[in-house]
């Protein structure tokens, strides 16, 4: 048995490689990026394909195609990426899978690098897809190996839900011998893969029946287990934990020297019989789960007049934020009326380090020129997107008025133009433009909407670790022109301090144009230049 020191993300990647993977697909996004990067690094060694996709929807569809021909596939993304992939993900819950298919999605409770705390388990329930929720790096490995088999046995896609603490912490993982790669075995039920209404009306009840069978599987699944306390502090109380919450509760028990019965849930759908067995004789239970009150909501509904439920909904463990050992100690102490250990408060002042664009970043020069051009042109608003350049919203640049989600900048600027805003500006990077800005620009080009789009082409997807974009430089120019943008108003600037006045004049001229203009600010990311020089 081989043992390896792995991140949780890497444990999922290693398990997929060991499972005889046919192909890996994904779009970068913290905290999921390292899954794909690990798979990409070892692709030739294990003999599978691994190529970044244009966005999460495309990645999921490519993985679904790999599954269609009988091979095992994994698709990786962060939690908000699942919003982008929701259409094929939910439809695949009806169609099912052929070769093993896993969507490895990393949630970000506490929003370390995300715009929300959304909980991917709701998507799994919504799509009638089973969901694993590892508590350790070893479980991340073991569950991924198991998930491929489950996917093929039940002919269903599977969601592997990670959270930041599992994804980005390391532990020694014991790996199992690798499986053989599935050979080509094309799906032979054409009706199943043609989701016309007549077929869907047959497939959907079958999907519901499959989900019920998965619920029966969950009853005896090794990841769902009642852990009776040896000497329970109160037999009428119990704690239900999911994922990383299990580690924190066990540590709290040890520190407080007190314990009660625990129900650990690592696989969903929720097993009702196991839950009823745990709740028998309990007058009060506490839910400790990272993310939304996914299990808590269902237990409240199932319990009815049963035990009182403490958790996120009543604010007992806090409505928001990431779980951690300190919160577990505090919650267990209050839940069991136990004294908390005396701790010494250490007063340390940590200097604030607000994020900022790198010194020498080309985006600084673009925003500086844009601010100059807008000084005499009001009312104006700058609709941005998600990337390094979003930091342009902060002082001293203060150059951005909105950032909502991937691709929103172009659509919002277009809508604002239609609403009467005189100087609407959209700003997004080359990677984000190719992710989800293309279709919005196509609509703006068709209508020659009076707005200005600035594409910040720094030659890479910088914020997530410098993955390659699909198109840069001349190729990006051709793509934009191909969408129907008037060549007379498709401009290029070099964002350099020495060209500040020249660039501001060009941007100002395009702002004054009563139609669509696109300006590509082309200069390589300063970090990529630095890495090349030191290589």
Give the per-residue pLDDT at 32.
96
Instruction: List the strands of the sheet with 451-457, edge to edge.
Output: 402-403, 380-384, 423-429, 451-457, 516-522, 490-493
d(CA 182, CA 71): 5
**pLDDT, mean of residues 408-415:** 96
Where does residue 380 fall: left (phi above 0), alpha (psi -120 to 50 degrees), or beta otherwise? beta
How many Cα neighbours within 13 Å face the side chain of 385?
Answer: 28
C-beta separation of 48 from 74 below 8 A: no
Q: Report the mean per-residue pLDDT for the chain.
A: 95
Give the per-residue pLDDT at 302.
55
Give the per-residue pLDDT at 12.
98
The strand ranges marked E within 84-145 are 101-107, 131-132
Lowest pLDDT segment from 136-140, 178-182, 264-268: 178-182
C-beta separation of 133 from 265 below 8 A: yes
Can you name the residues that pair with 493 across neighbouring β-strands? 521
Q: What is the pLDDT of residues 214-262, one digit of tens each?
A: 999 999 999 999 999 999 999 999 999 999 999 999 999 999 999 999 9
> Over the Cα atoms of the chain, what is R_g?
26
Q: What is the pLDDT of residues 28-44, one digit of tens each?
A: 999 999 999 999 999 99
Give the per-residue pLDDT at 365.
97
Question: How many Å is the maximal CA-CA distance in the chain?
Answer: 79
Q: What is the pLDDT of residues 287-314, one digit of tens each?
A: 999 999 999 998 876 555 689 999 999 9
Q: Give yes or no for residue 210 having a pLDDT over 80.
A: yes
Could you give the percent of the chain with pLDDT greater than 70? 99
**pLDDT, mean of residues 5-13:** 98
d(CA 44, CA 220): 38
Q: What is the pLDDT of residues 440-485, one digit of tens each?
A: 999 999 999 999 999 999 998 888 888 888 899 999 999 999 999 9
Give the per-residue pLDDT at 464.
86
Could you give the percent of the chain with pLDDT greater than 90? 89
Angle at 153 between CA 150 and CA 157, to 5 degrees: 55
Characterize the bridge pairing of strands 516-522 and 451-457: parallel
Residues making up the chain, counted from first to last = 535
- Per DSSP, 121 falls in state H
Give the per-residue pLDDT at 16.
98
Handedness of CA 223, 229, 235, 241 (dihedral sign): negative
**Prediction pTM value:** 0.93
**pLDDT, mean of residues 144-156:** 98
**pLDDT, mean of residues 319-327:** 94
Q: How far is CA 434 from CA 202, 468, 470, in A?
A: 37, 11, 7
Angle at 84 between CA 7 and CA 482, to 5 degrees: 115
C-beta separation of 244 from 323 below 8 A: yes
Q: What is the pLDDT of residues 67-113, one digit of tens each?
A: 999 999 999 999 999 999 999 999 999 999 999 999 999 999 999 98
**pLDDT, mean of residues 335-359:** 87
Give the per-residue pLDDT at 301.
61
CB burial string 12-33: b at 16+ within 10 A, e below: bbbbbbbbbbbbbbbbbbbbbb
Phi, psi of 455 (to 5 degrees): -100, 120
Q: Quickly state the pLDDT bin for 331 (edges 50, 70, 90).
A: very high
Q: In a 10 Å sphere around its CB, with 0-12 CB exposed, 13-18 middle and 19+ buried, how is residue 43 labelled?
A: middle
Q: Quickly state the pLDDT bin for 115 (edges 50, 70, 90).
A: confident
Q: How far is CA 394 from CA 221, 295, 381, 390, 479, in A?
A: 49, 38, 15, 8, 31
Distance of CA 80 to the CA centre of its chain: 5
d(CA 137, CA 133): 11
Give the per-residue pLDDT at 134.
98
């Amino acid at each position: 048995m081989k043992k390896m020191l792995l991140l949780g993300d890497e444990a999922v990647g290693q398990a997929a490689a060991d499972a005889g993977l046919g192909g890996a697909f994904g779009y970068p996004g913290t905290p999921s990026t390292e899954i794909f990067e690990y798979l990409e690094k070892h692709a030739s060694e294990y003999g599978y394909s691994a190529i970044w996709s244009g966005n999460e929807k495309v990645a999921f569809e490519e993985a679904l195609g790999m599954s269609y021909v009988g091979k095992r596939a994994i698709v990786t993304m962060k939690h908000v990426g699942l919003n982008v992939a929701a259409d094929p993900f939910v439809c695949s819950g009806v169609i099912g899978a052929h070769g093993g298919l896993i969507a490895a999605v990393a949630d970000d409770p506490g929003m370390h690098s995300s715009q929300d705390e959304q909980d991917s388990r709701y998507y799994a329930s919504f799509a009638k897809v089973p969901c694993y929720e590892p508590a350790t790096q070893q479980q991340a490995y073991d569950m991924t190996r198991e998930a491929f088999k489950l996917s093929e046995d039940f002919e269903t896609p599977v969601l592997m839900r990670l959270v930041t603490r599992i994804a980005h912490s390391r532990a020694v993982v014991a790996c199992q011998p690798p499986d053989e790669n599935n050979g080509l075995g094309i799906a032979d039920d054409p009706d199943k893969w043609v989701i016309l209404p007549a077929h869907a009306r047959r497939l959907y009840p079958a999907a519901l029946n499959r989900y019920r069978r998965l619920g029966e599987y969950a009853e005896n699944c090794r990841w769902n287990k009642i852990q009776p306390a040896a000497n329970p502090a109160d037999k009428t109380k119990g704690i239900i934990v999911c994922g990383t919450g299990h580690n924190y509760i066990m540590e709290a028990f040890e520190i407080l020297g007190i314990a009660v019965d625990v129900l650990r849930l690592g696989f969903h759908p929720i097993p009702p019989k196991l839950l009823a067995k745990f709740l028998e004789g309990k007058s009060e239970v506490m839910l400790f789960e990272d993310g939304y009150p996914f299990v808590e909501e269902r237990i409240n509904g199932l319990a009815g007049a049963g035990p009182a439920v403490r958790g996120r909904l009543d604010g007992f463990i806090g409505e928001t934020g990431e779980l951690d050992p300190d919160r577990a100690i505090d919650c267990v102490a209050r839940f069991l009326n136990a004294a908390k250990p005396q701790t010494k408060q250490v007063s340390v002042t940590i200097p604030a380090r607000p994020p900022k664009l790198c010194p020498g970043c080309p985006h600084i020069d673009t925003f500086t020129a844009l601010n100059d051009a807008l000084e005499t042109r009001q009312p104006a608003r700058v609709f941005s997107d998600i990337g390094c350049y979003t930091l342009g919203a902060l002082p001293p640049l203060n150059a951005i008025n909105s950032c909502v989600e991937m691709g929103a900048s172009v659509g919002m600027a277009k809508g604002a133009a239609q609403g009467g805003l005189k100087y609407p500006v959209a700003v997004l990077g080359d990677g984000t433009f190719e992710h989800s800005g293309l279709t919005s620009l196509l609509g703006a080009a068709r209508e020659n909407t009076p707005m200005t789009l600035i594409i910040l082409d720094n030659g890479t997807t910088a914020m997530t670790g410098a993955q390659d974009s699909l198109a840069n430089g001349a190729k990006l120019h051709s793509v934009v022109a191909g969408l129907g943008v008037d060549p007379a108003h498709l401009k290029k600037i070099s964002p350099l301090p020495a060209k500040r006045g020249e660039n501001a004049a060009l941007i100002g001229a395009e702002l004054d144009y009563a139609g669509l203009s696109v300006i590509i600010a082309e200069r390589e990311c300063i970090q990529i230049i630095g890495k090349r020089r030191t290589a």
